[in-house]
Structure formats: structure tokens, C-alpha cells
Chains A and B, each alone.
Chain A
Amino acid sequence: MKYKKYEYDNYTVHLLKTDKFKSVFVSLMLINDFDRVSLTKASLLRRLLTYSTEKLKDQTEVTKKVYDLYNSEIYVSNNIHNNVLTTDFSIEILEDKYTEDGLLKNALEYFFDTIFMPNIIYGKFEEKNYNLAVKNLNDYYNRERENKDTYAFNRACELLDEEHLRYNPSGYKDDLQKITNESMVDYYNDLFKNADSNIFVIGSFDETEILDIINNRVSKKLFKNNNNFILNDNKKECKINESTDVEENNQSNLIMIYKMYNLTKRERNVILPIFNRIFGVGNNSKLFKDIREEKSLVYDIRSTTARDEGLIIVQAGIDYKNKDEIIKSVTRVLDDMKNANITQNELEDSKKFRKLILKQFEDDNESILYLKINSILFKSDDLDKMEKELETVKLDEIVSLANKLKLNVVYILKGDKNNE
């Protein structure tokens, strides 16, 4: 795969050429600072831009356009990377040779129309579409509590120490009520004015043609900015914050969040995924084997990492009456790891699993692209380096990382149907 970078005054274009896939995947990635209300605005803007454009007046017309472009649908997503917010516009377009001549050009025209030609009339987003978008987002907030996993996760994050932003990335219902149509137009304009902008393309394409299309559409729309992204070093000593809410459910949701202190670059990028596989990923992890297979206490228990924030999150669906035993077991599993109770086999198996994941990334255009984005914008390693470094990981590095974990949050969303 050939990688080329073109730096222009206000933005950078990254091209990854490969014949392995049958499509061209394009992403425009904006990085901005943010506050609480901008998360809600970002969620609303996503809807406003994809419901209609200056040319396509409603969702029916947009859908017809997407079908006509062989399902070249535009996705807009927002993610928090510690202290910055990304807005990612992306589209996957089948190659012309599998569809029809001119598809790439036409689909990119639709892509940039969606981003840069919103349906704004006299300084406001067109009323019908605006109302629909607000209603849809409001319904989303109303339904948030129905997804117990996400709800419990968001509640648990609110209990983190203040050096974490603790925001719900989807925004808030009460903020939505304060937002006006005009303020959304301002937000839309400021988004581009203040963003660090990068465009990524992966697939088989004519380099000159794609650069021409991109430069024609974006050169006057994007602005020069640097992003303020930093990794969270978790400087503040933490105590354990505990909280329980009650919900009309059979099961209870347990969330335990650990902070990691003084992580080195190698620990964050290389050791952490290996550690986490041994600790709580998949049905061969220590948590799974101990708490499900040996003690039959849960159906599912897993740990995930938030690399940029320096966090590890343990999640399980539990029977409330077993909560103390499960929390103790999680703590004991981690203590065992801190005390070097890890076998060489566990380490080797974890490396093999990591290798499997990385090799599978190589087979997926979107994964390759986002790994590249993370390595360029968010200080992670690129795929080659990840594969190379993997084999060098040693047991004492896993133990050392385990000793950097400190429990910060224990949250339970208690199901009250089954436990009285």
C-alpha cells in the first residue's frame, strides 16, 4: 500500500492506494475543542446535514440519490478523544468498474454537497427538516434509558474524577431545548473555521483526478488550525466513587472504571491491548474464566480500554445479590496480575490474538484508514509498528501496567425485578 501526504495551506490530504478492495473510502476529519453544549449541537448537526441539502430538499430525495449512487451513503460521526471532539464525514463508493462510469465523481459531488451546501435559507436551516432533526434527537434522548448498557456506562463516567471530561458524547436533552436554529448555523460555520482538517482516501483511484475533485471543493471552505489534542496522564490521585441507581429490570449492570497512571507511550500503544486481552477480552480472559466459567456468576463479563483517557472499564450483567462476590473477584483477578500471576502461555496467546486482530485490520479498508488516522492525529502507532512491537512484549511489562491501575468508579444499575 502506498501512502502519500499532500499538505495545503489550510488542510492536509492523505492518500492510501491499494487494489485490494472494490471501493474508495473517503473521510473528512475535523478536530475541534469542545464544551458540553457543543456535543448536543454536533449530534443535531449530523442530522441536519444528512436529512437534506441545498439540492436535495428532503429525506426522500436524499434516499433516492443514495440508491442511484449504488448505496454511497454518507455517515457523520462524532467522537471524543480526551480533550477534543472529532467530526468525521465519510463515504464508501464502489469502484466504477463494478458499477458505472463516473460513479466516483458523482458520489464525491454528493459528499461535498452534503458537507458544504446545507439546506440553509435566509440564515436558518430549512424549517421542516430542522424540526424533524430536533424531534429525532429529542426522541433519542428520551429513549437513552432503554439501553441499559449505554445508560449505565454514561452514568458511571459521570462519577469519574474531574480531570476527565465526563460528558455523554451524544449530548443532553436540556441543552437541546436551549439551542436555536440560528445558533446551529453559527455552530456549522464555526465548526469549519476552527477545525484542524484532514482528508483521507483509501482505495484504487487516479491520484490527479481525486486531488482535483477534493481541492476544487474544499480549498475555500477549510481553514488553517492546529488541534489541541493531548493524552490524559491521570495526574490526580483517585478515591473510589460508588453509586447505585434502580431500574425495572431483571439483571443489574455493574461498571468498574480503573484509571491508569503515568503510562509511557509504549504502555499505551503496545502493552495495553495485550494486558487487556489477558484481563477481560473474550472467552479466554481471566475475568471470563474466573467469574463465568469457574463461579457461574455471570453470562458475560468484559473489559474495554479508553486509550486516550487512560482508562479501563469492566462491564458485566449480574444478579444483584452476587454483586459483592463479583466485585471482590474482579479485584482479586487484577491483584493476581499485579502479583505477576500470569503465565507465559497467557502472554503468548494474547499476542497471537492481537496479531489476529491486526492482520484482520489489513483485510478491511475502513480499519486501515482509521488506524492511519489514529497514528497521524492521535499519537498511536501505525499498523507496521504495532505488528513489529508486538513480539517484544514481556511479562514484567504486563505486571508493571497492572500495577498502574487504580479503581476510581463502581457503579451499579440495580434491576429490581429479580432481587427482592
Chain B
Amino acid sequence: MNKIKLKGLNETVVHEVLDNGLNVYVLRKKEFNAFSCYFITNFGALVDKFIPINEDEMIKFPKGIAHFLEHKMFEQEKGETVTQKFSSLGGSCNAFTNYDYTTYYVTGVDNFYENLNFLIDYVQSPYFTDDNVKKEQGIINQERLMINDNPYRIFYMKSLENIFVNYGYGKTIVGDEKDIYSITKEDLYRCYNTFYNPSNMSLLVVSNNKEEDVINSVKKNQEGKKFDRLGNIKIDEVIEPENVKKEYDVIYDNVIKTQISYAIKIKADKFLIDIDKALLYIYILIKSNFGEISKFNLDLKQKNIIDDNIQLGVSMYGDYIIINLNVSSDNEDKIIELFNKKFNDLNILEEDFNLIKKSMISKFVCYFMSVGSIMDYLYNDYFDNKKITGDTFIKYKELIFDEFKMVVEKFNINNKSITIMKPLKEKE
């Protein structure tokens, strides 16, 4: 058992790697009634080509298979369904799949150990049949249709897709109709056996129980179960070049006004500092120049060039930092021209830097006011690092203006991708 201090926050996570390779992270909060448990496999929608466990050849699976598997894990061979069982234990359960992970969770206030153990048990008891796979296809296809009815989601995915040449970001998470109806129970078992091995999984727990007791309970649960030994999973390696896939693209969807996504792709290691810090500096740079704090943003609104504030996104995708500015406007050419001009004349005021830093830091105090948001904090750390580092908050506190200036000097907009979504009526 080792202790991971959440630096600057006066909180500690207890961590242990069990004999079967499962990583268990526990944070105790005595003052709260509730608990939250996340059981995570490092298998998300990006992975659809790999060598399955106990096989030799690289296999390509249908898109959306990680998400399909998430749905099917709720199937049990006999007795109560997963949701019935959790209901009887007073727990509330669900799951979600993103590009990198699939996560199963339960929250509750009573019967902590029963809920925790059942979470592990059901995720470790797959039961797929031809019939239950077929039954799920209709449900997932309805989910796909629901997603496709959200033009802003389509727009977001399209703008990501236009940035990456080889990475799968922006591709569908649930799969296309053809993918959904082609998935078989054999596909699911091969994915399950490869990626749901404990050595490829982690368990995050926030509760008012003693850390040691929680870890011992998980150990006991795992002692009776056998798993194949899993070496490194061989996943088809994807190398992403620095250029964007499409520099300009126009799509049409069911929106009232034209939407513009102005995205910039930057290799994260070019800033020669800790990548997480580089990301934070860029976030401050973008927020101070294009966010609500900037006169530029206000000026565009007052001149009726944009309808609402510029929506900002600064995130890591693999080896790249992606900056995304989204606006609603009738004048896309003007917007592009103004953004280009602004990027060549960025402000770096120390006053703004300190104000934005202050606002970012305050969010961390808020994180520790409920079990749900504490879990969000841990999950974000895990999401970025495939483990809990405890460094997230301290990195915010350690940001300094001089280093910020150095990052700004290396900043450029050489690789940008512009995606426009126009109302359908303009297509006709």
C-alpha cells in the first residue's frame, strides 16, 4: 500500500496494485454519507485493431465495439438483473464509454461493501449470447439516431475529425449502423478477455470507510477468481503527423445559424516544459485573449459579429494540444480574418494571467465539497495519466508569469483547421 498525496489539497489517496495487477485507489472522506466507486478498463472507442489475448494476429473489429461491450456487461446469466441487484442494495449504477476508457460505476449511501463487491463481480462475469447481442442492436441503434439528431455533437465530432489524420478522435463512439449490426458475441468475448483483465483495469473509490478495509475487501473479492496472465496488449500503433487532415470544411445540419470551429493543432512537446503545464499556460493565453475577460470578445458581440461568447476548448489528444474556438455568426469570413489577426497580436497581461489563475485555483476548493466532485477530480487525473498522480492542483499553483511568456513565444497557428456548419436551408 502506498500513499499518494494530493499536493496542496491536504488529501491523500491510498493505492495498491493487487497480485492480479488490478490498481485500487481509495480516498476517504469521513464527513460525507455517500460513496462513489468507478471500475475502469483502459479500453475505449479509439481501439478497434489489436491482437486478442492468446492469439497471434492483429484483428480489426467493428467500430463501436467498446461501447457495445459496455451495454452488454449489464447482462447476467441468471437471477436478478444488474440494475435490480443494485436497486435492492440501494445503489445507483451506470456506465459510460469515451475514446480511451470504459467506466462502470455505482453511487450510494448504504451497503457500501455489498455495492462495491457487486460492481466488481458483475463486470467480471460476462454473459453474451446471440440473442442478447441481437436484442441490444436495436437499442444501440436508437442511441445512435439520438446522437445524430444533435447537430452540435455532430459539429464537434466533425471538427475533431478534420484535425486528425490518423488518430480516431472525432470518429463515432457508438459505431455506424453497419458496425452495430455486425457485432457478434464472439467479438465481444475476444475484446472482453483482452481488455477486462484486472491488470488493464483500475478501481477508484471515494467513501467514508477506512482505506485499508476497502482494499482488503477488494483483495478478498479477487482471491477467488482466476484470470489469464496478460502481457502488454498489442494495439495497432497510430502515428499522428503535425499537419491537420482538412484545413477547411463545410457541413450542413439542422441549425438556425452558422457555426464556426477554428481549431489549432500543436505538438505538445515543442514547449520544452511539463506538458500539463504547457496546456494550462495555453489555456490562460486563449482565455485572456478570447474569453469573457477579453475586450476582443466583447467587441465582437457589441458589433453583432458573433451572437454569444466565444466558446473555448484547450485539451490534450494523444501527443497534441488542440485549441478550439467556436462561435455562432453570419459572417464566417470576417470571423476567420479577425481570429487570424488576433492570433498575430496576442495580449499577455500579468493582471489577466493572475486573475485567471485565481479563478482556476478556486475550482479545486469546490471539488472537495461533495463525493461526486471528488470523484470527478480523481477521474480527471486518471483520464490524463492512466493513474492517479496527485499533481493536478499543485501544477496550477506553480504557474508563473515568466514561464507563461516563454510558452507564448513558442506558440504558433501554423496547423489550423476550420469547420463550418451551415443551416440545411442554405444547402438548397
List residues of A whose CB falls within 8 A of some B CB.
20-23, 58-60, 63-64, 66-68, 70-71, 92, 94, 98-99, 128, 131-132, 135-136, 139, 142-143, 145-146, 148, 247-251, 282-284, 292-293, 296-300, 317-319, 345, 348-349, 352-353, 355-356, 359-360, 362-365, 415, 418
Contact = CB atoms under 8 A, between A and B. Distances in A.
Interface size class on chain B is 35 or more
Contact of A70 (B298, B301, B362): B362
B371 interface: yes
Interface in B215-245: none
A360 B358 contact: no
Interface in B131-151: 135-136, 138-140, 142-143, 145-146, 148-149, 151
Nearest to B108: A356
Contacts of B136: 296
Nearest to A318: B142
Nearest to B328: A139
A99 B152 CA distance: 37
B303 to A, nearest CB: 11
Given A67-B358, A251-B149, A353 B83 contact: no
B87 A353 contact: yes
B149 A356 contact: no
Interface string B247-285: 000000011110000000000000000000000000000
B165 interface: no
Contact of A22 (B142, B293, B368): B368
Contacts of B182: none
A357 to B, nearest CB: 9
B327 to A, nearest CB: 12
B368 to A, nearest CB: 7
Given A71-B362, A249-B149, A298-B142, 14 more contacts: A21-B369, A60-B292, A60-B293, A67-B293, A128-B302, A132-B302, A143-B256, A282-B83, A293-B81, A296-B138, A317-B149, A319-B145, A352-B110, A415-B149
A135 B307 contact: yes
A66 B34 CA distance: 31
Contact of A251 (B91, B92, B146, B355): B146
Contacts of B110: 352, 355-356
Contacts of B33: 359-360, 362-363
A146 B365 contact: no
Given A67-B293, A146-B254, A352-B90, A284 B142 contact: no
Contacts of B143: 299-300
25 contacts: A20-B31, A63-B292, A66-B359, A68-B355, A68-B358, A71-B359, A92-B366, A132-B302, A146-B151, A146-B152, A146-B254, A249-B149, A284-B84, A296-B138, A297-B138, A297-B142, A298-B139, A299-B146, A300-B146, A349-B88, A356-B90, A356-B108, A359-B34, A362-B33, A363-B32
Among B34, B135, B142, B363, find the residue whose CB has the most chain A CB atoms closer than 10 A.
B142
A418 B368 CA distance: 46
Given A60-B295, A94-B365, A360 B109 contact: yes
Interface of B: 31-34, 81, 83-84, 86-94, 107-110, 135-136, 138-140, 142-143, 145-146, 148-149, 151-152, 254-257, 291-295, 297-298, 301-302, 304, 307-308, 328, 355-356, 358-359, 361-363, 365-366, 368-371, 424
A115 to B, nearest CB: 20
A356 B362 contact: no
A59 B301 CA distance: 11
A58 B86 CA distance: 51
A329 B294 CA distance: 54
Contacts of A365: 369
B149 A148 contact: yes
Contacts of A250: 145-146, 148-149
Contacts of B152: 146
B304 A135 contact: yes
A190 to B, nearest CB: 29
A67 B91 CA distance: 38
A296 B87 CA distance: 21
Given A250-B145, A282-B92, A359 B109 contact: yes
Nearest to B136: A296
Contacts of B81: 284, 293
Contacts of B358: 67-68, 70
Given A22-B368, A146-B151, A363-B371, A248 B146 contact: no
A67 B144 CA distance: 39
Contacts of B256: 142-143, 145-146
A20 B91 CA distance: 23
Contacts of A20: 31
A353 B139 contact: no
Contacts of B84: 284, 349
Given A282-B92, A352-B87, A363-B32, A64 B355 contact: yes
A99 B362 CA distance: 8
Among B81, B254, B291, B294, find the residue whose CB has the most chain A CB atoms closer than 10 A.
B254
Contact of B298 (A59, A353, A364, A415): A59
Contact of A23 (B139, B302, B366): B366
Contacts of A298: 139, 142
Contact of A139 (B87, B308, B363, B369): B308
Nearest to A141: B256
Contacts of B298: 58-60
A415 B146 CA distance: 11
A311 B145 CA distance: 29
A94 B146 CA distance: 39
Nearest to A316: B142
Contacts of B107: 356, 360
Contacts of B294: 60
Contacts of A249: 149, 254
